[in-house]
Amino acid sequence: MKFNNNGETVLETDQETIDAFLDYTNNFLTVWAFADHYGWTDENAKQILIDGKQLHEGSIQ
């Protein structure tokens, strides 16, 4: 993963998005804590979780 000039984590691939989703699922209790950890807004984190879940579910079929 890379970081932008604001210190936010940048996801460049579908696999990185899936990995972020799985990290949330396994290691965080709240979206706020997940967003804070990666330097994202709550709204960005929610969208990453939606996208990551869809990608993950598509990869296991």
Domains of the chain: which residue ranges? 2-59
pLDDT for 6: 76
β-pair partners for 3: 9
pLDDT at 7: 73
Residue 8's pLDDT is: 77
The rounded mean pLDDT for the chain is: 91
Could you read off the pLDDT of 37-56 as tens digits, one per residue? 999 999 999 999 999 999 99
The answer to whether the beta carbons of residues 11 and 17 sit under 8 Å apart is yes
pLDDT at 61: 67
What is the model's pTM?
A: 0.85
Long-range pairs, 21-29, Cβ under 8 A, ≥24 = 21/48, 21/49, 21/51, 21/52, 21/53, 21/55, 21/56, 22/52, 22/56, 24/49, 24/52
